[in-house]
């Protein structure tokens, strides 16, 4: 127990000192995971909308695949993205392995199915007659899709939160495709792993607290967005 | 009713999962008329309505709106902006009442300065003017359906489709809304199609009545025409013609028939209106509201048909009671609570039932000695 209290005390000292390296790591975490979530929102809705609005053979299979994708292990994603981006790999010409771009790519692969899966279920849970009602009010197809998304805004924001939560906390993929390079690809999770393995528990604690505060702040912001204008 | 057809449907066919669920050869909707669709669940009322509204892919047939064939997608989209539809579920948006009523206008790009007075006016006309700022999810069922109707009427639709709009409402909300809707439809001269299970609703709102079964139109015609002259027992049951009597014509002339009921029906003679030849077997129907009950045969009454019988069942039917009688044949009558008490009607009691010859309508006739 002493170790924990001592760690927490030193962690607070570090945080209050506002170490520039710690600040950079935090901002990079926010940038990588934020961008990955944004990209995943576009991809996720791009998948969820057509799947929710159309009937086609194999629809159940697609939904099952998406739901499986929601539990994609980050290390598996890390492995595949690494192989893809490897110098001789199919995307090797991009030369982005061990850069933040590679981390964004890997995190987008992790978050996209999460956002797609939750968004799909959100759209499928709207009243079945709502689409016809919107069309009967004279909406064009794009207008109809926009109104459906607006109606599903609460669970859609939950999808964004789940996607962001999934990538801000993952370490496997980030360490594999980013390499935890100081000043370049080191983020809160990879730094925590490293400091812990070095025995610098107080630094690891400080980073962990920052990670929690970051996740809380972003989610509090999204929750505020989600719950405003809501009666009761 | 020789006004121009607003909507002409020809050979409408809809398939679902390889099964034909709608087959309507001809249906015209005339300007300013209210057409009621009746039929049991699964008869295809909603399917027909969605097909007429252009909201359902057709597997065959054509739709013409104001003389223009609705073929291309662009024409269907343009049509969708000239009609609108209200469903059983109000399907309101998660927004305020005002935002809901304004939704269709907003989709059409109508500026707020034009939108707001129109929203206000229709909200007031439907009695929800004081609820404009309220979130739709806090409304009662009746208020929600009023919002849905205001959202439809504010668009000034050239055709209004109403798919069982009162089916989920409790009786008081339903009554009030029926009255208001009746007035608004009449005042605006709206062309409308309404589907309903309830013959009372149809009778209060519609000019014409169509009865559906298994995706087809069994009968369509003027309200009184269909109510009084159902073409077969199924339609008769659906429009509330509860008593059907089968017998052989013994005399006829000047539109009046005398028929003798079969032995199993007590062998009574019944006078009815209609044309048939003596010897023909016919089916006549009597609506329960046209049957009068009394304790003795009333010699002064103009009712030509009077039958003593016993009360079999007394069933409450909202504001009145349905009395089922055994007069040798089955006869149903409606009475008020007051009459029920005055006549002391109870199962097993004796009573005299009477109805005019003009209340007994010929429904079907068969060839000589043929089976009906």
CATH number at residue B189: 3.40.50.300
Substitution target in A130, A131, A138 with the highest count of B β-carbons within 10 Å is A138
pLDDT digits (tens, 9 = 90+) for B50-93: 999 999 989 999 999 998 999 888 888 899 999 999 999 999 99
Asked whether the beta carbons of residue B85 and residue A132 sit closer than 8 angstroms, the reply is yes
Q: Which residue among A132, A137, A140 places its CB closest to the CB of B77?
A: A140
Check pLDDT > 80 for residue B265: no
Judge whether A205 lies within some domain: no
- What was the pLDDT predicted at B300? 67
**pLDDT band at residue B191 under the 50/70/90 scheme:** very high
Q: Tell me, what's the pLDDT at A146?
A: 96
Is the confidence at residue A53, as pLDDT, over 70?
Answer: yes
Last residue of a domain, one of B215, B236, B257: B236
If asked whether residues B196 and B216 sit together in one domain, one would say: yes
Average pLDDT over residues B334-345: 89
Kindly state whether residues B278 and B226 are assigned to the same domain.
no
Cross-chain Cβ contact B55/A132 below 8 Å? yes
Q: What is the mean pLDDT of residues B168-175?
A: 89
Virtual torsion, Cα B290, B292, B297, B302, nearest 10 deg: -40
**Contact residues, chain A, for B87 at CB < 8 Å:** 129, 132-133
Provide the sign of the torsion angle of the four alpha carbons A82, A83, A84, A88, taken in this order: positive
Q: Are residues B212 and B246 in the same domain?
A: no
Whether the pLDDT of residue A121 is over 70: the answer is yes
Residue with the two structure tokens 């771009």: A101
Higher confidence at residue B270 or residue A6? B270
Contact between A136 and B161 using a beta-carbon 8 Å cutoff: yes
Mutation target to probe the A interface, by most A beta carbons within 10 A, among B16, B107, B138 is B107
Q: pLDDT at position B190, please?
A: 95
What 3 state SS string does chain B have?
Answer: CCCCEEEEEEEEEEEECCEEEEEEEEEEEECCCEEEEECCCCCCHHHHHHHHCCCCCCCEEEEEECCEECCCHHHHHHHHCCEEEECCCCCCCCCEHHHHHHHHHHHCCCCHHHHHHHHHHHHHHCCCHHHCCCEHHHCCHHHHHHHHHHHHHCCCCCEEEEECCCCCCCHHHHHHHHHHHHHHHHHHCCCEEEEECCHHHHHHHCCEEEEEECCEEEEEEEHHHHHHCCCCHHHHHHCCCCEEEEEEEEEEECCEEEEEECHHHCCCEEEEECCCCCCEEEEEEECHHHCEEECCCCCCCCCCEEEEEEEEEEEEECCEEEEEEECCCEEEEEEEHHHHHHHCCCCCCEEEEEECHHHEEEEEEEEECCCC
Residue after which a domain boundary falls, among B236, B256, B271:
B236
Quickly state the pLDDT bin for A229 (edges 50, 70, 90).
low
DSSP code of A200? -
Enumerate the residues of chain B whose CB falls inside 8 A of the CB of residue A140. 77, 107
Question: For chain A, how many structural domains are there in total?
Answer: 1
Q: What is the pTM of this model?
A: 0.86
Which of A54, A128, A137 to substitute to test the interface with B, most B CBs within 10 Å?
A137
A-chain residue closest to B73, CA distance? A140
pLDDT range class, residue B371, cuts 50, 70, 90: very low
What confidence category does residue A118 fall into, taking pLDDT thresholds of 50, 70 and 90? very high
**Interchain CB distance below 8 Å, A138 and B84:** yes
One domain, residues B80 and B207: yes
Is the domain of B218 the same as that of B247?
A: no
* Region B248-263 average pLDDT: 88
Judgement on whether residues B148 and B52 belong to the same structural domain of the protein: yes
Residues B162, B299, single domain; the answer is: no
Query: Is the pLDDT confidence value at B372 over 80?
Result: no
Compare all CA atoms of chain B with the CA of A132 and give the residue at the minimum distance: B55
Per-residue pLDDT for B263 more than 80? Answer: no
Closest CA to A108 of A159, A164, A65: A164
Ranges A7-16, A162-171, B27-36, B143-152: which has the least confidence: A7-16
Whether B104 and A135 lie within 8 Å, measured CB to CB: no
Which candidate from B77, B87, B155 shows the least CB-CB separation from A133?
B87
- A3 in a domain, yes or no? no
pLDDT at B370: 44
Interface test with B, best of A122, A126, A136 (most B CBs within 10 A): A136
- The half-sphere exposure of A116 on its side-chain side, counting CA atoms within 13 A, is 26
User: Where a domain ends, among B203, B236, B269?
Assistant: B236
In the predicted model, what is the mean pLDDT of residues B110-136? 96
pLDDT at B353 over 60: yes
- What pLDDT, on the 0 to 100 scale, is given for residue B226? 92
B213-233, pLDDT tens digit by residue? 999 999 999 999 999 888 888
B199 in the same domain as B217? yes
Do B232 and B248 lie in a common domain?
no
Tens digit of each residue's pLDDT (9 = 90 or more) over A194-214 = 999 999 888 898 899 889 999
* Per-residue pLDDT tens over the stretch B153-162: 999 999 999 9
Mutate to test the interface with A, among B46, B91, B160 (most CBs of A within 10 A): B91
Shared-domain flag, residues B283 and B205: no
> Which residues does A contribute to its contact with B (CB < 8 Å)?
127, 129-130, 132-133, 135-140, 143, 147, 150-151, 231
Residue B367 binned pLDDT confidence (cut-offs 50, 70, 90): low
CB A63 within 8 A of CB A120: yes
Nearest chain B Cα distance for residue A168, angstroms: 31
Instruction: Give domain status of residue A220, yes or no.
Output: no
B292-303 tens-digit pLDDT: 998 887 666 667
**SS3 per residue for A55-97:** CCCCHHHHHHHHHHHCCCCHHHHHHHHHHHHCCCCCCHHHCCC
Whether residues B305 and B339 fall in one domain: yes
Strands B320-326 vs B243-253: parallel, antiparallel or unpaired: unpaired
Number of domains forming the structure of chain B: 2
Are B255 and B328 in a shared domain?
yes
Lowest mean pLDDT among A108-117, A122-131, B286-295: B286-295
Region A119-132: mean pLDDT is 95
Chain A residues within 8 A of B107 when measuring between CB atoms: 137-140, 143
Which chain B residues have a beta carbon less than 8 Å from that of A127? 89, 91
User: Mean pLDDT across the stretch A118-145?
Assistant: 95
* Mean pLDDT for all residues in chain B: 90
**Comparing C-alpha atoms, which of B46, B42, B57 is closest to residue B12?**
B57
Judged by CB atoms closer than 8 Å, whether chains meet at A135 and B55 is answered as yes
Within a domain: residue A227? Answer: no
Grouping H, G, I as helix, E, B as strand and the rest as coil, residue A104 is: helix
Q: What is the CATH number of the domain that holds B282?
A: 2.40.50.100
- Which residues in chain A have their CB less than 8 angstroms from residue B80's CB? 135-136, 138-139
- The pLDDT assigned to B71 comes to 83
% chain A with pLDDT above 70: 98
Structural domain span for residue A56: 28-195
Residues of B whose CB is below 8 A from A150 = 93
A179 in any annotated domain: yes
Question: Residue B281 sits in which domain range?
Answer: 242-368
Which class for A57: exposed (0-12), middle (13-18), buried (19 or more C-beta within 10 A)? exposed
In chain B, what residues touch A147 (CB-CB under 8 Å)?
93, 103
List the single residue in A132, A140, A143 with the smallest CB-CB distance to B50: A132
To the nearest whole Å, the CA of A151 is away from the closest chain B CA by 6
Residues of B in contact with A130 (CB under 8 A): 91
Residue A28 has pLDDT above 50, yes or no: yes
Length of chain B: 372
Q: What CATH number did the domain enclosing A36 receive?
A: 1.10.3720.10
């Amino acid at each position: 127990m002493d170790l924990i209290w001592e760690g927490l005390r030193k962690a607070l000292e570090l945080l209050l000192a506002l170490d520039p390296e710690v600040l950079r790591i935090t901002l990079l975490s926010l940038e990588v995971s934020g961008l990955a979530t944004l990209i995943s929102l576009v991809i996720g809705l791009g998948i969820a909308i057509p799947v929710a609005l159309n009937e086609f053979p194999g629809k159940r299979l697609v939904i099952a695949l998406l739901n499986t994708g929601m539990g994609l292990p980050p290390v598996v994603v890390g492995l595949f993205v690494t192989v893809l981006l490897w110098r001789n790999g199919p995307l090797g010409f991009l030369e982005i392995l061990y850069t933040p771009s590679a981390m964004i790519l890997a995190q987008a692969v992790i978050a996209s199915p999460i956002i797609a899966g939750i968004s799909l279920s959100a759209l499928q849970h709207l009243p079945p007659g709502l689409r016809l009602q919107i069309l009967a009010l004279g909406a064009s197809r794009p207008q109809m899709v926009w109104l459906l998304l607006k109606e599903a805004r609460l669970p859609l924001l939950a999808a964004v939160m789940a996607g962001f939560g999934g990538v801000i906390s993952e370490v496997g993929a980030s360490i594999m495709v980013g390499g935890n390079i100081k000043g370049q690809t080191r983020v809160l999770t990879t730094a925590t792993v490293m400091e812990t393995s070095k025995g610098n528990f107080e630094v690891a604690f400080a980073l962990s607290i920052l990670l929690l505060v970051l996740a809380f702040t972003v989610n509090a912001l999204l929750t505020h967005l989600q719950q405003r204008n809501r009666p009761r | 009713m020789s006004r121009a057809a607003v909507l002409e449907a020809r050979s409408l066919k809809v398939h679902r999962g390889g099964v034909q669920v709608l087959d309507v050869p001809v249906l015209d909707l005339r300007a300013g008329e209210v057409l009621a669709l009746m039929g049991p669940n699964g008869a295809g009322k909603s399917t027909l309505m969605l097909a007429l509204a252009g909201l359902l892919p057709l597997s065959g047939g054509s739709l013409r709106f104001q003389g223009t064939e609705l073929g291309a997608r662009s024409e269907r989209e343009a049509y969708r902006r000239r009609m609108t539809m209200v469903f059983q579920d109000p399907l309101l948006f998660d927004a305020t009442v005002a935002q809901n009523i304004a939704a269709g206008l907003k989709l059409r790009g109508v500026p707020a300065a034009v939108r707001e007075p129109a929203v206000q006016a229709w909200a007031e006309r439907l009695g929800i003017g004081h609820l404009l700022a309220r979130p739709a999810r806090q409304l009662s069922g009746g208020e929600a359906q009023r919002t849905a109707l205001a959202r439809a009427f504010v668009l000034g639709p050239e055709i209004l489709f109403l798919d069982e709009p009162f089916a989920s409402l409790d009786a008081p909300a339903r009554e009030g809304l029926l009255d208001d809707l009746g007035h608004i439809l009449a005042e605006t001269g709206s062309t409308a199609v309404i589907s309903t299970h309830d013959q009372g609703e149809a009778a209060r709102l519609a000019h014409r009545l169509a009865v559906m079964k298994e995706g087809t139109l069994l009968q369509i015609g003027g309200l009184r025409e269909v109510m009084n002259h159902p073409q077969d027992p199924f339609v008769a049951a659906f429009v509330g013609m509860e008593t059907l009597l089968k017998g052989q014509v013994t005399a006829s002339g000047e539109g009046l028939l005398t028929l003798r009921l079969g032995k199993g029906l007590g062998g009574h003679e019944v006078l009815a209106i209609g044309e048939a030849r003596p010897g023909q077997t016919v089916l006549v129907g009597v609506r329960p509201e046209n049957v009068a009950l009394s304790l003795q045969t009333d010699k002064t009454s103009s009712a030509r048909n009077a039958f003593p019988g016993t009360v079999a069942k007394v069933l409450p039917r909202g504001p009145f009671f349905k009395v089922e009688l055994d007069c040798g044949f089955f006869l149903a009558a409606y009475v008020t609570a007051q009459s029920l008490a005055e006549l002391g009607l109870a199962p097993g009691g004796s009573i005299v039932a009477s109805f005019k010859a003009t209340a007994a309508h010929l429904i079907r006739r068969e060839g000589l000695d043929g089976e009906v």
